[in-house]
Structures are given as C-alpha cells and as structure tokens.
C-alpha cells in the first residue's frame, strides 16, 4: 500500500488493518519493521529514524516497551 504522501506499507492485513509481519517506510525517512496487531506495532519490532538512531525491542499497542 502506498499513500499519497509517500508513506508505504508492505505486509499483512486483517479486517482492513495492518496485522502480522510488516514494514512501514515513511516519506521523511523513518522505518518500522516488525509485528502488527489491530493496526498497531505489537510484539518485537525495529524502528529506525532518518538520523540513524534506532530502537529494537518490544512494542505494546503501538508503544515501545523496555
């Protein structure tokens, strides 16, 4: 799926929401790779910011845990 603003999602869907393994690439250069549940990052994932910093770990309902 590619949005008009340049954001892109490659991965699974369930009930029209991101679900399972997927990858979001945002127009500003940030990226998320990991698991989704009910449209939100949930479980292990990796978030990379355009400036080179990153977070690797667990997410719960869209929020970093740990």
Note whether residue 1 is domain-resident.
no
Q: What is the mean pLDDT of residues 10-30?
A: 97
Q: What is the mean pLDDT of residues 42-54?
A: 98
Q: What is the mean pLDDT of residues 13-23?
A: 97
Note whether residue 3 is domain-resident.
no
Q: What is the CATH number of the domain that holds 13?
A: 2.20.110.10
Domain total for the chain?
Answer: 1
Closest CA to 36 of 10, 54, 56: 10
Q: Which pLDDT belongs to residue 5? A: 97
Give the pTM: 0.90
- What is each CA distance from 40 to 15, 52, 63, in whole angstroms? 13, 23, 9
Domain span at 45 = 8-65
What percent of the chain is predicted at pLDDT more than 90?
Answer: 98
Q: Which pLDDT belongs to residue 66? A: 76
Note whether residue 53 is domain-resident.
yes
Residue 30 has pLDDT above 90, yes or no: yes
């Amino acid at each position: 799926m590619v949005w008009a603003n340049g954001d892109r999602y490659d991965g699974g869907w369930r009930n029209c929401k991101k679900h399972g393994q997927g990858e979001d690439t945002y127009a500003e250069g940030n990226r998320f790779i990991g698991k989704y549940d009910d449209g939100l990052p949930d479980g292990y994932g990796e978030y990379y910011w355009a400036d080179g910093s990153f977070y690797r770990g667990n997410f719960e309902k869209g929020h970093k845990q740990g």
